[in-house]
Chain A
């Protein structure tokens, strides 16, 4: 079956496999469905459920949307023996997780795509430039997982005249890494890595950076609430909408777009921390400026 032939069918069976029922996954799913339904009202036969309740690969859907890491893995496993598996769109998944799981052949063939949850390196650096114009040295704590982000960040930093300093975090070596990187840092860019940034270490990282007056750029609203100066992230709904756009394009006969970053994002500022560190930051203005930079 070709993608185009799906158009001919009366209703198109689409599975939406959730990594967890409810919560952020359901929120992304709803946003995706709404986006598609607006363009193709009533045309889709949605089946939205926890990934584990899709126990049989038959009757095969025309499209599979996986929401989250567990769902992507579950759906890939389910169709592992299928020589012509239905195309898979994975959303709300970190780039590194997606790339680790995906079958490179299917990716090349264009039958798998994704809308990542992370922010592109250039967006992170442009935000730093807008919000903290005096910053030259961007420090990072990297673990085995997040070091995968370094090449792209290095490139983006070079183009923008930033100096990157990445401190590798060994097991039990968080403080040494902080000590080595903070004295010369203008900002600490947090990169998701459960071995480095987790609920255990967040308190220590936040206090250590605050003590040194080094602002922290987090990757989730939780960081801003906890005490990061600012955060850049996309909400589940924003990722869902982007996923819906990709799916809509594919359903209307166009090729499945290549894996992409979420287009919409949120810049959040912790005003108490900003005031204490002596920054005057307007989160909505910075968000606007950043959006304008990307889409003038």
Chain B
């Protein structure tokens, strides 16, 4: 009786709802005349490649999928001007046009607008770059060249902007597995759910391998990522991300254990005010922990632990307003506050936390001067609580010579703020008395002036795009560890990098994709002693790469990449690596099992045999592995 009444109460409004919604589901002229909110407002639209104030390489989802790469650094091989190396098999590094050291501190890397770097480990980006699952990435935009005026001091040599896939863009459930030689064992699971208003994706992944031959550098990366996309109204969208990453290496070393951990949360809210105004707010919190514990033996042969651990935290808040002032004049301006806190008695000989604040104000105008010219002018003013204020300006002029053919002239000045370790580091090793590094704190930002001429050509009929960049990058006040024992961090030496680089993308037919990169780079360095020799060899004088993707019948895919680097060194003048090629191969098949999309592949890295990378004696081995991915 009760249940029947309940049913009646429930069913009456439910039925009414159903019938009214059925009526609303029929098409009428209302569908043609209903107003819609502006969704893709000017600020949400990406600048086309021929109007960007710089050279940009985009690595899209399809390229990522077909690359056979296992981490982000590996993908940057496809970007002209990038130099990839390995400290060891577990620690790949990447820089643009050479970096004079293996600290990997002059590149800016963003993931969904969150700057990732280790504040604790001298601004290094290589650990954070291990902390992403490639299958979660929608595309990677690489800005070749410095862009401090738009992205701040870390964007000293280049910017890597990783855009992850929205929760709504991934299949409901995916799983992948890679197994192969050299201990390769990668696995991931991802689930996604939700609707137009709230969608969530969750990824858990573990990857690992045994690293290089004859080096204790086995690696394991455990990570967990969450992304939620909310759309409370048509004018608002909110993105929340959170995750944890644990990058561990050398676990098979009985005497030493090292790992780097990171947890983060981030929120971004974009609000469309009207057709010409958008605002964006972004906040993120990062915590990193570095553990380095090694047992050393005293003169009496007694093992003693030695640690170089630390914790870093940072909070970043950012607001940005994009406005169209006139039909051809767009302004983006905003500000950022960043608080950084580092605690490491081992690396700083300081029990309390060291803090630094960064305040930034930035602005950039894009001014369309008629049909042919686009002027981008911007500047960022940064005030670092220890170092003081600096301003980085940029000017770029794009000229559409003919439809599809654009020339670009740009000039910019950039600074790289010193890291906490460069300012306050005090590092001792157990084997020596006193400090190995003792920073006096007198360091000033590194400075770079870059001029460029670019060309972007699109030959639609041929399916060919051409990107050419000629550059001159003059740097001074390099932050160097200098003095011998102890080392201070001082501004020293200068350099000039000149050269050109090109990327050709050719799609002669829908099944074939070719990518050709070539970089010619001449570094001239002015430094004391023999340092200028290693400085001048810090990047190869030429780098060439060719990538070929072919879609074959029956769902088969073939991929080949060939890369050759000229001689270079990651260390001193005696550690010069020879010119060596690297060849990667991939054969895959995509097929369906019922409603499940499957992809099986066999990948070989360095197919022609091992080659030197990083320090001499470190060989990237030939390795073959099989992958299977299922999308449900």
Q: Which residues of A contact B (CB under 8 A)?
A: 19, 23-24, 68-70, 92-94, 96-97, 100, 117-118, 134, 143-146, 172, 174-176, 178-179, 192-195, 197-204, 206-208, 210-211, 219-220, 222-223, 225-227, 233, 236, 270, 272-273, 275-278, 280
Contact = CB atoms under 8 A, between A and B. Distances in A.
Given A233-B32, A278-B49, A202 B39 contact: yes
B196 A275 contact: no
Contact of B51 (A134, A193, A219, A275): A275
A227 B33 CA distance: 16
Interface string B211-233: 00000000000000000000100
B12 to A, nearest CB: 21
24 contacts: A68-B28, A145-B25, A179-B169, A193-B31, A194-B25, A197-B31, A198-B31, A199-B34, A199-B36, A206-B39, A206-B40, A207-B39, A207-B40, A208-B168, A219-B31, A220-B31, A220-B32, A220-B33, A225-B38, A227-B38, A227-B41, A272-B42, A275-B48, A276-B46
A118 B33 CA distance: 12
Contacts of B36: 199, 202, 222-223, 225-226
Contact of B171 (A23, A94, A179, A208): A179
B4 interface: no
B598 to A, nearest CB: 15
Contacts of B48: 275-278
B37 A199 contact: yes
B196 A201 contact: yes
A65 B171 CA distance: 50
Given A118-B32, A207-B237, 17 more contacts: A24-B29, A68-B29, A92-B29, A144-B25, A174-B195, A175-B196, A193-B31, A194-B27, A203-B37, A203-B231, A204-B196, A204-B231, A210-B40, A220-B32, A223-B36, A272-B42, A276-B48
A101 B458 CA distance: 51
A258 B29 CA distance: 20
Interface string B260-278: 0000000000000001000
User: Would you list the 4 A-B pairs with minimal beta carbon distance, nearest first?
Assistant: A227-B40, A276-B45, A226-B36, A192-B31
B472 interface: no
B196 A117 contact: no
Contacts of B40: 206-207, 210, 226-227, 270, 272-273
Nearest to B234: A203
A149 to B, nearest CB: 10
Contacts of B169: 175, 178-179, 208, 211
A225 B44 CA distance: 14
B166 to A, nearest CB: 7
A175 B168 contact: yes
A204 B168 contact: yes
A145 B196 contact: no
Contacts of B302: none
Contacts of B195: 172, 174-175
A227 B41 CA distance: 7
B475 to A, nearest CB: 34
B35 interface: yes
Nearest to B50: A278
Contacts of B172: 176
Nearest to A271: B327
A35 to B, nearest CB: 19
Contacts of A174: 195-196
B212 to A, nearest CB: 37
B530 interface: no
A194 B31 contact: yes
Interface string B485-499: 000000000000000
Contacts of B30: 194
A272 to B, nearest CB: 5
Contact of B32 (A192, A204, A225): A192
Given A199-B234, A275-B51, A19 B29 contact: yes
Interface string B156-179: 000000000010111110000000
Interface of B: 24-42, 44-51, 138, 166, 168-172, 195-196, 199, 231, 234, 237, 275, 403, 458, 460
B34 A211 contact: no
A107 to B, nearest CB: 19
Contacts of A222: 33-36
Contacts of B46: 276
Nearest to B510: A136
B458 A192 contact: no
B24 A134 contact: no
B398 to A, nearest CB: 12
Contact of A226 (B28, B38, B49): B38
Contacts of A118: 32
A69 B29 contact: yes
Contacts of A223: 36
A273 B234 CA distance: 18
A220 to B, nearest CB: 5
Contacts of A272: 40, 42, 45
B162 to A, nearest CB: 14
Contacts of A203: 37, 39, 196, 231, 234, 237
Contacts of A70: 28
Contact of A94 (B32, B47, B237): B32
Contacts of A68: 28-29
A206 B237 CA distance: 13
A172 B199 CA distance: 12
Contact of B27 (A23, A175, A193, A206): A193
Given A203-B231, A208-B168, A226-B36, A192 B45 contact: no
A227 B32 contact: no
B438 to A, nearest CB: 50
Contacts of B171: 179
Nearest to A28: B29
Given A208-B169, A272-B45, A202 B234 contact: yes
B29 A227 contact: no
B239 to A, nearest CB: 12
Contacts of A100: 26
Contacts of B168: 175, 178, 204, 208
Contacts of B237: 203, 207
Given A24-B33, A192-B32, A222-B35, A200 B196 contact: yes
A94 B28 contact: yes
A100 B48 CA distance: 45
Nearest to A118: B32
Nearest to A116: B29
A207 B460 CA distance: 25
A210 B41 CA distance: 12
A23 B168 CA distance: 37
A197 B27 CA distance: 10
Contacts of B35: 199, 222
Nearest to B165: A211
Contacts of A201: 196
Nearest to A278: B48
Contacts of A23: 33
A295 B231 CA distance: 45
Nearest to A239: B29
Nearest to A134: B460
A172 B50 CA distance: 39
A275 B195 CA distance: 30
Nearest to A204: B196
B231 A117 contact: no
A96 B196 contact: no
A195 to B, nearest CB: 5
A97 B296 CA distance: 84
B596 to A, nearest CB: 13
A219 B31 CA distance: 9
Contact of A276 (B47, B199, B231): B47
A135 to B, nearest CB: 12
Contacts of A144: 25
A145 B22 CA distance: 11
Contacts of B49: 278
Nearest to B172: A176
